[in-house]
Every structure is written in structure tokens, then in C-alpha cells.
Amino acid sequence: MTRSDPPVPRPVAVVTGPTAGIGRVFAERLAARGHDLVLVSRDAARLRALADELSARHGVACEAAAHDLADAAAVEALAAALAAMPRLDVLVNNAGFGTLGTLERADPAAQAAMVQLHCATPVRLAQAALPAMLARGAGAIVNVASVAAFVTGPGNATYSGTKAFVRLWSEGLAAEVQRRGVAVQALCPGFTRTEFHQRMGFAPTRIPAALWLTAESVVDASLRALDRGGPVTVVPGLRYKLAIAAVRLLPLRVFSAVVQRGPRTRT
């Protein structure tokens, strides 16, 4: 390239839920790889601070887009923006939350918001992102699911159900676009040290230390899989890989009985 040549435009990555945990690490890793970023969450102040930090550190453009992605109108606004991004290279559907308690006692509005945020929102955003990706024959969509997509228990019905949808939908979408240059991934981490559990009022001490993953290890497993061309469903951590293999081999009633006993704490 000579001095008179215009600079090559950078690819764009859109990350939802990037202000902490897995989403933040995705934003950091993608910025380090040279992607301009569009960061999306409800918290405008934290978004702006993160955008400024990553822009200064990596020399990329970072846009902070404050949207409540549990609101269908906000999702449509973001979908329109995605559809107008010819350089959109990576979409990370990471925004989500959990609740405690049985459906009988749950807040109906929170359950509806979870279904919207975990299921309807990723579908709409992926649909908006795909045309430009398919036209270029390149791009990736990462949908953050959970090991809860494979097994459920009391107090976890809606969350597990939505994450199971994300996993199966991602696998189906991957089959639709696999020969057209676009990668689709269902990322299924286990317990990960982020703000997620504190926000829902779950005490991390209930889970043995050996079962906790770091957000960095989860994201690095996701990006390695994308770089290598698969698999579609990514379960970070050897313990969780073995657990999911067991889930698929043993009768569901056996695992349901284990889950219903709940996690044991160490004394």
C-alpha cells in the first residue's frame, strides 16, 4: 500500500451486554483484533466509559448505543442500524439475566422480558445482520447460551428453556449458512465469575470453587473455535464438557434428580 492509498476500513463487531463479564471480554478481545465496536446495553454511562477506554487503548472506533433489548421497539431500532452496516463482521448476542424462584412465584414481567431478551432479540438481530455477512461471504454470529441449555431444575425453568432455544436455534441457523461463509456459534459456559449471579441474588459460595470459569477463558474458547472453523456448540472447560457428555448419555430423569438436590457447599 502506498501513502496515497486510502486506509482499509476496519471490520465492525457489535456486542450486546458488554459492560461486565463475558460481554466485556468479548469487546476487549475484538478491539485488540482490530474491530471497530458498537457496544449495546441499557447503562449509558458504563457503555461510554468502556467505549472511551477501548478506543484509547486499541485505536479503534467505539460507539456506545444505549438500548433496552428487552423492549421490542428498541430491538427494531438496533436491527435497522445493523442492517445498514456493510462492514459488520461479528455479532455477539450476549445480553441476558437470570432470576431465582419457581415460575409460580415469579414476576410475570421479568419472565416475559427474559424470553424477549434471550430468544426474540437474538433472532431479530441475527436476521438483520445476515444479509451483509452473506453478501460478503464472511462473518460470525456468537449466541451466548449456557450449560443450562442441556439440563434444568426447579427455579430454573424459564432460564434453561430460553438457553435451550438459543442452542438449538443456533445449530439450525448454522446449518442454513454453513456453506455461505458465515459462522454461527452457541457458546455454552458453566458457572462464570461475573456480575451475573450477584445481580440475581445467588451466592457464589454455593458452588465449589473448581466449577467456576473465568470470563477470559470462556471468550478465548469461543474465539478459538471460530478461528478453527467450529464446532457450532462450544462448551468451555473440561469438567463441563464431561458433564454435558454425561447428560447426553444418561436418562434425563437421573440428571433431574441430581439437579433437584441442588449444589452442595464445602465446609
Which of 118, 163, 167, 197 does the annotation list as catalytic? 163
Q: Do residues 89 and 35 make contact, with C-beta atoms less than 8 angstroms apart? A: yes
Render 33-58 in DSSP notation, one character per residue.
TT-EEEEEES-HHHHHHHHHHHHHHH
Which of 159, 165, 169, 191 does the annotation list as catalytic? 159
- Least Cα distance to 194 among 266, 97, 264 occurs for 97
How many Å apart are CA 67 and CA 87, to the nearest integer?
A: 21
Q: What angle do CA 158, 153, 258 make, to 5 degrees?
A: 165
User: How does strand 213-214 pair with strand 182-187?
Assistant: unpaired
Active site residue 240: no
How many Å apart are CA 208 and CA 189, to the nearest integer?
A: 16
218 three-class SS: helix
Active site residue 241: no
Number of H helices, E strands in the chain: 10, 9
What number of CA atoms fall less than 13 Å from residue 159's CA on the CB side? 23
Q: Do residues 84 and 55 make contact, with C-beta atoms less than 8 angstroms apart? A: no
Q: Do residues 32 and 216 make contact, with C-beta atoms less than 8 angstroms apart? A: no
CB atoms within 10 A of CB 149: 23
How many Å apart are CA 71 and CA 115, to the nearest integer?
A: 11
Active-site residue numbers?
Answer: 159, 163
